[in-house]
Structures are given as structure tokens and as C-alpha cells.
Structure 1
Amino acid sequence: MALLRRPEGGISFPQSQTARELDATVAMADEKETTPMPTTSRLQLPEEVVTHPLVLLSIVDHYNRVARDTSKRVVGVLLGSTFHGKCDITNSFAVPFDEDLRNPGIWYLDHDFLENMYQMFKKINAKERIVGFYSTGPKIRKADLDIDGLFRRYCAHPVLVICDVHSDVEVLPTTAYGSIEEVEEDGKAIKRIFKHIKSTVGAYEAEEVGVEHLLRDINDPSVSSLAGQVKHKMTALNGLKERLEEMKTYLENVVAGRTPPNHQIIYNMQTIFNLLPNLNVDALVRSMFVKTNDMHFVIYLSSLIRCTIALHNLVNNKIKYKESEELGFAEKKDEKKEAGASSTDKASKDKKAEKAP
């Protein structure tokens, strides 16, 4: 039997099996209380990150208040939940952050402010947990891996969302990353790198209603829906052009030896080009012509119908205007007759009054 000794010495008592189990349970409970538990379960890296509109508005507001018209960036905390590999970012808050632009390894993030704000947000909505952090980048920087290590104290797999707050092209403003461990080629060391995660923008029904209400003051009601669709098509094509130019630049750098080749990127490029249709097939060319002619035929018929309706409205307007003019002329004529009759009656009455003795 094990012996328990009093702190001040003295008599020793034998410890039974039940007492040892009780002590072990108490020790485990104390360890749980003292050890900071992560706010999310230890799952794998999320496969998709969904950013909600409120988060985008908060990030833009944070940047405009702190780092507008400067070369600095802002960093904040992302709140949300992760379920079945999908990370929903529903809220966020800003954190005091600063870094040395000449020495990227020197940076500062206020831990006390972060913990106090998180405790207050937790009182408002206990379901929202820390899922990562955001940055206005616009690219990944050297200190991001160190910041990621800091946020691993609060969640198992923090995500990094980079938001481009001043993008000239209307493309998706967010890019999501997650850190993973990778073994170097020599197999002697393990390093952490950022892995790209699929990023989208989503909203609940209530958020969609709020966004539509805000867009009423932004969208021009005088612009037709067709013009808006054409604008969106042009924006999408400009975004596609930029992506193709980026792929071209990467391949040129690989061929010149300035960038080491990444087999996964090259494999993805090959997959994209394999999905392109073969435009040299006669059947495909004919089907494209038929489809184009059908679309043009519908547009032509729509134009004829609109022109016919406009002509009918013009004719009806002319007829209505002519009738109103005739009616107004007749009313004026009747008024003149009534005025003439009243003046004649008045003159006759005046004459009778003069003749009377």
C-alpha cells in the first residue's frame, strides 16, 4: 500500500484503491481547469470558408478607421462555427496590431484586448467561437505564420482570410488559407505552410434582406437590367483575363528558373486546359452557330415587339392629346358665349335704369 504523509509530518495512513482513484479524478479536473481548452474541436482543416456580409463590412470599416491612405494593414479576429468541414464566419472584431515594415519579423498584437473582447462576445452569443483571423494583406506576409501559431491557442485549425479592401476589379474580395505541416525534401525538418482553402461569400435570409435594403441606395434605378447583366459579364471576363495573365506569368517564371515548379499547380492548369472544348469539330461549330442564331432571333423578335408597342403608345397619346385639345377649345368657346351674354344683360339693365324717372 502507498502511504500518505501529512505536510507537517506525523502519522502516516494507508491509502485505499478508492482514495487513489478519487485523487486521480481531482487531479484531472484541476488539470482541465488550468489548461486552456481550444474553442473548437480538433478536427481537420476546413474544406470551405463562408464569409458573411457583416464580416466584410466590419473589415472595411476597420481599415478605413485605422489604415486608410497608408501602406499598413489591419488584423482582427474571426468568429463563427465549423461543421462538417465548412467554416461559417458570422462575426468579427478588430484587434490592436502593428508591425515593422522594414523588419516583418517584428510585430505586436494585444493579447489582453483579444481575450477581453472574446469574453464579451461570448456573453452575447455563446455559439460564436474563434475560428481564425483576418488581414487586409493584400498578400500573405512573413508574420502571418507567427500569428497563426498564436491563434492555435484558441482554436485547433485557425483560418486566415485576406480581404482586398481596395480592389479595382469586381471579383471575390476574400481569399482563405489554413496552415499545415509539411516535411522538407531532405526529410529532416518539418515546417508550416499556408494551404489555400475554398472561399465564398454567403448570407442568411435576414442578412440578404439587409444587404438588398442597403443596395437600394447604391444601384441606379435608371439603368436597365440588361445593362447590369452586360456589366457583370464584362467584369467576369476581366477577372478571367487577370487569372490567365497570372498563369502565364507563373509559367514564364518557371521556364526562366526564377520560380521552382509546383506539380500541383501545373496539374491544375493541365486539368483546366483539358476541360476546354475542341472548337475544330464541325458539329460543335454548327451547334454554336445554331444556338447563337436562336438567341439573336429572340432578341430580334423582342425588339420588334417593343417597337410596335412604342408606336401604339405614341398613336394613342396623339389621339388623347387631340381629344383633350378639342375639349378644351369647346370649353373656352362656351365660356366666351356665357361672358358675352352676361355683359349684354348688364348693359340692357343699365339702359333701363337710365330711362326710368
Structure 2
Amino acid sequence: MAGEEEETPTVVAKSGDIVDVTMHPLVLLSAADHYHRVARGTRKRVVGLLLGSVLRGQVDATNSFAVPFEEDSRNPAVFYLDHNYLESMLAMFRKVNAKERVVGFYSTGPSIRPNDLRIHDIVKRFLPANTVTPPIFCIIDIRPDRKSHPTTAYKVVEEVSTKDGQRQVKLSFAHVPSQMGALEAEEVGVEHLLRDINDPTVSTVASLIKGKIAGLATLTEKLVECKDYLESCVRGEQKVNPEIVANLQTIMNLLPNLNTEDLVRSFVVKTNDMQMAIYLSALIRSVIALHDLVNNRIQYGGGAGNDGEIATGKEEEKKEDDTKTAQKKDAKK
């Protein structure tokens, strides 16, 4: 009967609700550098503080810094977070940029741990006075092979449930939509930074092809998602959203008309130029390979033949000399 009296928990948002979270590239770079310096090759995670601004429930995490953190793998309730280091770093960051304030903390996860609620309470103490919006919690996935969104944001909510006739309030994390954003200066800086990163084991052509394949795979996923949504709207399973339909119509209007003669001719000319370059490259490579083969044959395979020809010539000269000597002896006789 006690199980039947339990009600489904209802989520009650706090005042100053968080609408969405925008992560900037500098935060991801700092978190990745923090992980590779401290916990690379281990099962540990790293924790840091997020700095930024909040406007009407929209959190912008523009900066971050690492915090010394340790936790016991055997006992999840035991952990260490350096408060003195955190206070000193906050004081120095205020001198550099007074507009940035504490908006939450990050972890490399890869999932929520029992200590995260306690860390949330600690970070809450460092919020500015008269702050209504609570701090956020962001899990940053630093795996390089991850193709989806690398961040997952959460906020703390109160779950009110009834059990055995008593109301219980329990804190838990609720998902918040997160996205990537950058200012113009950040975009330029990240572009130059990525341009300098070079993997010597991967050629430029291979990296370009890999980027094209990843882009086409993402495009395919988005097109399939649009197709499924439109089909569900046609079947009546989902309500039609005018904004989504308007965006799809805009996308369709921006698509080029492939039936025009000028566009077809341009595609043909471009394709012919590319195929001609590939054909000439194959011919040149074949000629160079044959040329190297001939040089190799002359250098390593022709020595024995020359020696044989020289030896044969010497034997013929010796025979001629012997014949002349025999003829002179006969003449004297």
C-alpha cells in the first residue's frame, strides 16, 4: 500500500530559472588542457569554476579556471576542494575583468557523481551578493573522437514527492539546453589556433576528406530529422510548428536551381578540370616510376652484363694474338 501511495515527483524550478547555457571556446580549451595536465591516462576527473554573465536566465560561460580537486574512488562521500586557491583565483580574475562572475562549475564526468550536489553548495557561496540565478553544472566531454555536442549543462531543482503521507523535498540535477557560441574575436583566435595544430601522422588530404565526411554525415542526420518531423506532422502525430515550417521553406528557397544550363556547364567544366588534373598526375607518376626503374636497372642490374662483355672482348683479343703468333712461327719454319 505504501508503494501505491507514492506520487510521481513534480519538478519545481527555483526563482531565477535558467533558460539555456552558452559555452565559449576558451572554456573548452581550458578544460581540455586541465584534464591532459592532471588526469590524462587515469580514471580521475577534474573540476573547475565557470566565469561569465547571466542575463534573463541565459548563462554565458566565457572563461574558466582549474581548481585543485581530489576524491576517493572507494568512498564517494570523501573529496577535497581547495577553498583558499579558489578565493585567490577569483580575486585575481576580478582585477582582470570585473564583469565576469561565478556562474557555475564544470567537470569532465563523464556522468553525474554523488559529490556534485555538495560541490554545487560550495560554489554557491562564491556567488555575488543578491544573486537570484543559481550556479550551473556542466559536464565537458574531452574525448577527441566525440562527434556530438561536447557539453551537457544541468541546473539544481527541487523534487517534491509524497511518501507514507509525508512530503519530502529532494535536490537533483535537471537538464538545461546548451549550445556553443563565440564572439568575433574568439572565432578568429580559435581559427588561427586550429590552423597551427598539425598531426604529422595524418596528411592534409586525409584530414580534408575526413572533415568532408563528418560534415556530410551531420547533414544527413539533420535531413533525416527534418524528414521524420514532416512525416509525423502529415500523419497527425505531431502538431505543426509554424516557425519550423518557415525555416524549412527558407532553406528550400535558398537551394540553387540545378536545371539551368549555365550551372550544368559550370559543373561539367569544373569536373573536367579536376579529372584532367587527376589524369595528368597519374601519367606523370607512372613516367617517374618507369624512369626510376630504368635508373635502378642501370645502376644495380647492368654491372654483371658489362663485366661479361669486357671479359668476352678480352678473350677474343687473346685468341687473335694467339693466332697471329702461330702464323709467325709457321712463317719462320
TM-score of the pair, normalised by structure 2: 0.61
Q: Deviations over 1:22-81 (max 9, x none)?
A: xxxxxxxxxxxxxxxxxxxx9613211111111111101100111000000000111111
Change in 2 beyond 3 A, CA 1:309/1:196: same
In structure 2, runs of 5+ residues without a counterpart are 1-13, 128-132, 236-251, 279-333
Q: Deviations over 1:135-175 (max 9, x none)?
A: 00011111101111111212350101100111533111111
In the alignment, residue 67 of structure 2 is paired with which amino acid?
V
Superposed displacement of residue 214, structure 1: 1.5
In the alignment, residue 173 of structure 1 is paired with which amino acid?
P
Task: Tell whether 2:27 aligns with 1:55.
Answer: yes
In the alignment, residue 106 of structure 1 is paired with which amino acid?
V
* Counterpart Cα distance in 2 of 1:143 and 1:311: 60
Task: Tell whether 2:188 aligns with 1:209.
Answer: yes
> Contact between 2:258 and 2:264, CA under 8 Å: does it hold in 1?
no
- Tell me how many residue pairs correspond in the alignment: 236
Superposed displacement of residue 102, structure 1: 1.6
Partner of 1:304: 268
Select the residue among 60, 70, 90 that pairs with 1:98: 70
In the alignment, residue 145 of structure 2 is paired with which amino acid?
D
Superposed displacement of residue 215, structure 1: 2.2
Q: Deviations over 1:306-345 (max 9, x none)?
A: 245569999xxxxxxxxxxxxxxxxxxxxxxxxxxxxxxx
* Counterpart Cα distance in 2 of 1:49 and 1:221: 35
* Counterpart Cα distance in 1 of 2:24 and 2:229: 32
* Counterpart Cα distance in 2 of 1:163 and 1:311: 44
Partner of 1:108: 80
In the alignment, residue 194 of structure 1 is paired with which amino acid?
F
Superposed displacement of residue 224, structure 1: 9.6
In the alignment, residue 277 of structure 1 is paired with which amino acid?
E
Superposed displacement of residue 236, structure 1: 6.3
TM-score of the pair, normalised by structure 1: 0.57
Select the residue among 228, 231, 234 that pairs with 2:217: 234
Partner of 1:140: 112
In the alignment, residue 142 of structure 1 is paired with which amino acid?
P
Partner of 1:192: 171
* Counterpart Cα distance in 2 of 1:69 and 1:170: 21
In structure 1, runs of 5+ residues without a counterpart are 1-41, 245-271, 282-287, 315-357
Superposed displacement of residue 182, structure 1: 1.4
In the alignment, residue 90 of structure 1 is paired with which amino acid?
T
Using CA pairs under 8 Å that are at least 6 residues apart, name the structure with larger relative contact order, 1 or 2: 2
Percent sequence identity over matched residues?
47
Tell me the secondary structure at the aligned position of residue 146 of structure 1. Answer: helix
> Contact between 1:73 and 1:137, CA under 8 Å: does it hold in 2?
yes
**Alignment root-mean-square deviation, CA:** 3.9
Q: Deviations over 1:109-138 (max 9, x none)?
A: 111111111011111111110111000001
